[in-house]
Amino acid sequence: MPPQVEVCSELAVAFGILGIHPQEITSEDRLRELFYGDRPTWREFVGFRDVFGKMYDTDVLWDLGQRVVKDWIGNSPKLVEWYGPSRQARTTSASRDLRLHGVNWSVSVKYKSDVVSNSSPYNLFEAVASGSAKAKGASNWFEEQSPGHYGMLVRCAVGLAVERRVISSREIRTYLDNPSLLKQVMGKIESDYRNHCQSVYVAMCRDVAQKSADLFNRNLENVPRKSLTGVHEGIIRQFLRVNGERYLLVGVEKDGTAYVLEIPSIDDVRKAYRIEHITAVPDLRRKQSVVNFDLCVANTGTESKVSLKYHAEIRWSHGPFCGNPEAKLYKEFGWSEVPFFRKIYIHR
């Protein structure tokens, strides 16, 4: 089984920054000498080394690591800290995959991914748009926003599972209150679910998309003028991966564009740019819950404006009724198109 793309892409950039070809590392002791703090396990490294130059454009990413040194920091650091795809979320809220020892720079790595963030629908449509505190846990957004359609979907699924057309309201309530029972239901009817329940699911999704977009816009409209700057800063953090410190964004877009960018701090952005507007619009052509966003940023000096398009997909991450829905935010542009991201290296 191939190693994770995140592991390979991040380690390729790390070794490029170190100026060392992965094939040169033949012992675990030597690997330990190159990393401080969090480091790859020997198994992770060997998996990466075996596919280097063969998968995930790892040779291109290694070259980008070299560009970080040549075009930005000047000299290769002797040590790198690697946070790893599974460890970053627990260790920091910043966009950080690598930390370069001695030069005080963090690096975030992206490989052919348009995913900007993955949060709960509540946090995206309620907390970010209103400036309120983000929720730590996730709720059942489908049931909250469209209880009627959600109940119909549960009724359809349960009816298939128990092979009865008539299901009492009390039975349905039992399933609504016990998500684990709904998971068991899906295990029985997975092959029939799409054929029999699809129209109900689509109706629910479109209703949820409409209500989510309306909620985002309404929350933003109701923000007091004195609080608007803070809310806009939260939107910039969420939609543009800007945080409290500058860092480097290194990666490859889906169209093959390779880049090294300096991402400014939120303070730097605030001094030179403002949000002109941001609007949410449901995409009612889709057969799942999708909300489109148009984020327009303006240069406060020149008044030049750039519009950045996004969409969020509201869905269960592991199939119907499995866990609470998530809101995955996708960009529809290249990172180098953001006007306040400094272009250190671009190759198309």
- pLDDT greater than 90 at residue 177: no
- What is the pLDDT, as a whole number, of residue 87? 52
Residues 78/228, Cβ–Cβ less than 8 Å: no
The residue ranking higher by pLDDT, 194 or 14, is 14
- pLDDT greater than 50 at residue 89: no
Q: Compute the distance between CA of residue 24 and CA of residue 3 in angstroms, rounded to an integer.
A: 19
- The burial of 106, by beta-carbon neighbours within 10 Å (0-12 exposed, 13-18 middle, 19 or more buried), is given as buried
Mean pLDDT of 323-346: 96
- The burial of 225, by beta-carbon neighbours within 10 Å (0-12 exposed, 13-18 middle, 19 or more buried), is given as exposed
- pLDDT greater than 50 at residue 91: no
- pLDDT greater than 50 at residue 323: yes
- pLDDT greater than 90 at residue 342: yes
Residue 336: closest CA among 254, 257, 234: 257
- What is the pLDDT, as a whole number, of residue 318? 80
Residue at 78: amino acid letter: K
Lowest-confidence region among 99-103, 184-188, 337-341 = 184-188
Beta strand ranges found along 60-213 (DSSP E): 80-82, 98-100, 105-111, 115-119
Residue 4 neighbours by CB distance under 10 Å = 16
pLDDT band at residue 193 using 50, 70 and 90 as cut-offs: confident
The per-residue pLDDT for range 253-263, each reduced to its tens digit, is 999 999 999 99
pLDDT band at residue 93 using 50, 70 and 90 as cut-offs: very low
- What is the pLDDT, as a whole number, of residue 197? 84
Percent of the chain with pLDDT over 90: 73
The per-residue pLDDT for range 215-253, each reduced to its tens digit, is 999 999 999 999 999 999 999 999 999 999 999 999 999
The per-residue pLDDT for range 19-65, each reduced to its tens digit, is 999 999 999 999 999 998 888 999 999 999 999 989 899 999 999 99
Tokens encoding 231:
């809310």
pLDDT band at residue 190 using 50, 70 and 90 as cut-offs: low
- What is the pLDDT, as a whole number, of residue 176? 79
The per-residue pLDDT for range 148-170, each reduced to its tens digit, is 999 898 888 888 877 766 677 88
